[in-house]
Amino acid sequence: MKNLKAQFKLIICFFIFLNISNIILAENSHKYSSAEDISNYFSGVLSAYDKQYKKSYSHLKKLNNLEDSHFIYSKYYQYSLIAVGKYKDAAKYSKKLEDKKLDNFESSLISAVFYLKNKNYKKASLNFKKLKNRNPSGPIQNLLSTSLNVWISLKKNPDLTSGLSSLDIIPKKFINIKNVQKTLVHCYFDSPKTNELFKKLISNPDINYSRYNFFHANYLISKKNEIKAKEIVKSGLNQSPKNLMLNQLKLDLEKRKVSSNQFDCRNVADVIAEILFVVSNILASQNNYVGSNFYLNLAKYLNPNFVSFDALYAENLFYTQEYKKAINNYTKIKYAGAVYNWHASKQIASIFSSQDKKEEAINSLKKSFERIVNPTIYEIFDYAEFLKNNEKYKESIKYYSEVLSVIGIKDVLYAQVIQGRGVAYERTDQWNKAEIDLLKSLEASPNDAYVINYLAYSWIEKEIKVSESLEMLRKANNLKPNDGYIIDSLGWALFKVKNYKEAKQYLQLAITYMASDPVINDHYADSLWMNNETLQARYYWNYVLKLEKTEKKLKKKIKQKLLFGLKS
């Protein structure tokens, strides 16, 4: 896989180089014909592609005025400036683009945010208006241009009615974001309806608005109503027990500390930062981490005292495998309070695990866990899950059991905890206990496809309850039709009941989802053999032997199959 990524990167580099060379040499030979200029551009763009923005900035800043003929340069340069926190330089460059009539959506947004941060509302308003006049190319830009213009206009024309009516042109697909902003507009004007609208927003049964329990509680705190604020926090945690913002606010209120997340709905900059965060979150959910970080860094610039922004930024770095940067950011987050400390500790340990530093990961989180004076059931559960996922099964059973000793079957955590302990029992060869726990998990959550799959596959491997397992796996496959592991289990159950033709169909499909999984490839090879496709079966068995993840026990079995085949 690493080789494939390297080859793909090489191809990208080649085409970027050709593009750069053609443009610079053909159109700007009088300015950019030197090898050094070409090298700086190539290195700058490639560094941006690799998300190494400091390197990108250091190369691209040397190419003055290239934006005159190559708009891609200006885009990469703007992203690099924002990524390294050079907001003043980014604003200067945006002004330069404006003077040359080369400004774009990003440059106008950067200028607007810079002027807003520095309380130059007149110039901020002019640049926000430019966003609207650009005929934004996509729904996200449309949402931003509309929303941000509404909020900056409130500084010039502080009128509740006009502010609310201005929000009506937000596209229908963003109705949820529109409802949030309407509530915040009322909050901005301290309208008598503010409390009622927050209640209506967070009580919506179809959408998880638990994040806005924080904003509701924050509003109540500003009104000196901490008792009601605590009730709102408790209500939000009932809906989303692991919400970081609410858990930290709960602790801050108990200890009468200033909240780790600072937000004032009467501050336009804070509200616009929240809107930029929402857009960033949408882009992150679409795996567009470059765009997500651009908007998120602008949000952090406007409101640097909102730890929730830093948490998303660290998460983005984690998902893009920028592990060193992610660890640095999570280390900073630790100081925001006990809840963020535990969250950051878990994430840092997960990074170590993903780098095959298992012992370092375990020791790191163990120290963090032992420093918690009175861990909650969620922290104990988190630790148990981490131990199980890092093959410390016996240790995990202790902590799962500790949680189960204080919760009942109706608790939202019950099904997950009893499942986790069941898996740990199974991995430590305590099948009788494992089976009891997995059945209890299904009793609490009968449509959990993954528990169904785990229990049914375990029965099949033990050659018990095969027919029952087959029906259970058909149900699991209907619940999660695109899961490679479940499709493999269903195919393997069909194989065990000697329905080799149908088994081959499912196992072949499983291969398309999990092409490099040794067990699935072995199952598929077995089905090929039993369908008299012996040559193809041998090909897949040999393929499994070459896979890095293939365990020694499976390799030994496959070598026997290559010698003697399968018995019918």
> What is the pLDDT, as a whole number, of residue 24?
44
Is 21 among the domain residues?
yes
Is 38 among the domain residues?
yes
- Using pLDDT thresholds of 50, 70 and 90, give the confidence band for residue 206: confident
**Least reliable range by pLDDT among 1-15, 113-127, 335-349, 350-364:** 1-15
**Least reliable range by pLDDT among 140-144, 249-253, 273-277:** 140-144
> What is the pLDDT, as a whole number, of residue 231?
96
In the predicted structure, residue 319 carries a pLDDT above the cut 60: yes
Average pLDDT over residues 201-229: 93
> Phi, psi (5° rounding) for residue 207?
-135, 140
In the predicted structure, residue 16 carries a pLDDT above the cut 70: no
In the predicted structure, residue 227 carries a pLDDT above the cut 50: yes
**Least reliable range by pLDDT among 28-32, 234-238, 289-293, 505-509:** 28-32
Distance between CA atoms of residues 517 and 333, nearest Å? 36
> What is the pLDDT, as a whole number, of residue 15?
45
Average pLDDT over residues 237-254: 94
> What is the pLDDT, as a whole number, of residue 114?
97
Is 566 among the domain residues?
no
Average pLDDT over residues 481-495: 96
> Phi, psi (5° rounding) for residue 8?
-65, -40
- Using pLDDT thresholds of 50, 70 and 90, give the confidence band for residue 157: confident
- Using pLDDT thresholds of 50, 70 and 90, give the confidence band for residue 76: confident
> What is the pLDDT, as a whole number, of residue 59?
64
Q: Into how many domains does the chain fold?
A: 1
In the predicted structure, residue 495 carries a pLDDT above the cut 50: yes
In the predicted structure, residue 290 carries a pLDDT above the cut 60: yes
Is 3 among the domain residues?
yes
Domain hosting residue 25, numbered range:
1-103
In the predicted structure, residue 483 carries a pLDDT above the cut 80: yes
> What is the pLDDT, as a whole number, of residue 450?
97
CB 461 within 8 A of CB 473: no
Is 568 among the domain residues?
no
- Using pLDDT thresholds of 50, 70 and 90, give the confidence band for residue 2: very low
In the predicted structure, residue 82 carries a pLDDT above the cut 60: yes
Is 341 among the domain residues?
no
What's the distance, CA 378 to chain centroid? 20
Q: Which amino acid is at 390?
A: N
Is 128 among the domain residues?
no
In the predicted structure, residue 385 carries a pLDDT above the cut 70: yes
- Using pLDDT thresholds of 50, 70 and 90, give the confidence band for residue 30: very low
CB 396 within 8 A of CB 384: yes
Burial 106-125 (b: 16+ CB within 10 A, else e): bbbbbbbbbbbbeeebeebb
Torsion of CA 76, 81, 85, 87, to 10 degrees: -130
In this prediction the pTM is: 0.85
**Least reliable range by pLDDT among 7-11, 158-162, 241-245:** 7-11
Average pLDDT over residues 216-244: 94
> What is the pLDDT, as a whole number, of residue 7?
46
Is 121 among the domain residues?
no
Burial 184-202 (b: 16+ CB within 10 A, else e): bbbbbbeeeebbebbeebb
> What is the pLDDT, as a whole number, of residue 10?
44
